[in-house]
Amino acid sequence: MKLSHFQFNLPKELLAEFPAENRDESRLMVIDRKKQTIEHKTFKDVIDYFDEGDVLILNNTKVFPARLYGNKEKTGARIEVFLLRELNAEQRLWDVLVDPARKIRIGNKLYFGDDDSLVAEVIDNTTSRGRTLRFLYDGSYEEFRNKLTELGETPIPKYISRDVTPEDADRYQTIYAKEEGAVAAPTAGLHFSKHLLKKLEIKGVKFAEVTLHVGLGTFNPVEVEDLSKHKMDSEELKITQEACDVVNDAKAKRKRICAVGTTSMRAIESSVSSQRTLNPFDGWTNKFIFPPHDFSVATCMITNFHTPKSTLLMMISAFCGHDLMKKAYEEAIKEEYKFYSYGDAMLII
């Protein structure tokens, strides 16, 4: 398959600026691959598709307030700094993106906070917008991290044209988020409310948690027509033995196994044994899933509606079947489903 197969016209007004009022009341499109049918539901109806012993695989990564605004020394120019990943805790080195980047050179200092209580020095260039920063801060490591949290804001996606609100700190986070390290939310999980998870639990549905720290690489545009030439950024992944036991037990009993989101799907597909069971994993993955792909673990998945030419759309095509996916997306546009991070959801069975 080629990049051009994933182009479609997405009306700008279908990009969700705000989440649904209640998490579990966003819309849900249900796609049955066997019957080739499309149904329209509300997200909380998802419970009707799962029975006792079925498993939901959740990505429990937690988004940290990764977007900071600082001022350049001497000129005072306002610079956006997006924290990507910590390189060295002791030396307080971070991999970041800066905007506007052309003004930021090695040796420059950036000042953060009204009282300039945090300073960073640019020590390396990584990509056109990428820099390595060394933060200069007198307090302990814990105080330094608290300072980052205090000065940072929720990294809602750039396509959202409004300012960040206090509600975003809560809503751009799954209710089961535990392990801090993501710069973007695993958005399929945003639709689960505490109430819905409790109802699933009472029904006997089991949960397996994995941790994939979502980086901005997930959203990097694909710029090569031949998909096999695209390289994904690496993201940190952890799958415990406990999660494997839950998933493999359900697989042995032929229960439904549902990957909640493209990140959960990428996580489990990154660590599969020759017997097609899930293995523990602790490291980094740059797995890129595009058609054709033979999925080993999940029998269904929950996902949001993705943008044209995105790696996420390519994974959905591989799982759903390209023609059915195209039909579903045409229907979603016609029915005015909301797309992207704060948008509506899709269940593929």
Question: What are phi and psi for residue 253, nearest 5 degrees?
Answer: -90, 5
Same domain, 147 and 205: no
Q: Could you tell me which of 267, 69, 251 has the C-alpha nearest to residue 179?
A: 267
pLDDT in tens, 206-264: 999 999 999 887 777 899 999 999 999 899 999 999 999 999 999 999 999 999 999 99
Task: Out of 124, 153, 182, pick the residue that ends a domain.
Answer: 153
C-alpha torsion 202→205→211→217, nearest 10 = -110
pLDDT in tens, 30-76: 999 999 999 999 999 999 999 999 999 999 999 999 999 999 988 98
Residue 173's contacts (CB-CB under 8 Å, 6 or more residues apart) are: 62, 63, 185, 190
240 assigned to some structural domain: yes
Question: Global pTM?
Answer: 0.94
The Cα 155–Cα 185 span in angstroms is 9
CATH of the domain at 37: 3.40.1780.10
Same domain, 192 and 258: yes
Question: What are phi and psi for residue 222, nearest 5 degrees?
Answer: -85, 130
Same domain, 232 and 307: yes
The count of structural domains within the chain is: 2
The Cα 48–Cα 26 span in angstroms is 16
SS3 state of residue 316: helix
Same domain, 238 and 215: yes
Question: What are phi and psi for residue 285, nearest 5 degrees?
Answer: -130, 140
Give the residue numbers spanning the domain of 86: 67-153
Same domain, 253 and 309: yes
**For 312, what's the count of Cα atoms within 13 Å in the CB-facing half-sphere?**
25
Residue 57's contacts (CB-CB under 8 Å, 6 or more residues apart) are: 207, 208, 209, 210, 243, 247, 257, 258, 259, 260, 264, 267, 268, 298
- Pairing, β 300-304 against β 257-260: parallel
Same domain, 259 and 224: yes
pLDDT in tens, 178-217: 999 999 999 999 999 999 999 999 999 999 999 999 988 7
Same domain, 21 and 149: no
pLDDT in tens, 82-138: 999 999 999 999 999 999 998 899 999 999 998 888 999 999 998 778 999 999 998
Q: How far, CA to CA in Å, does 311 sit from each of 64, 70, 134, 222?
A: 23, 32, 32, 7
Task: Out of 122, 153, 184, pick the residue that ends a domain.
Answer: 153
The Cα 203–Cα 198 span in angstroms is 9
Tokens of 4: 């051009």
Same domain, 283 and 230: yes
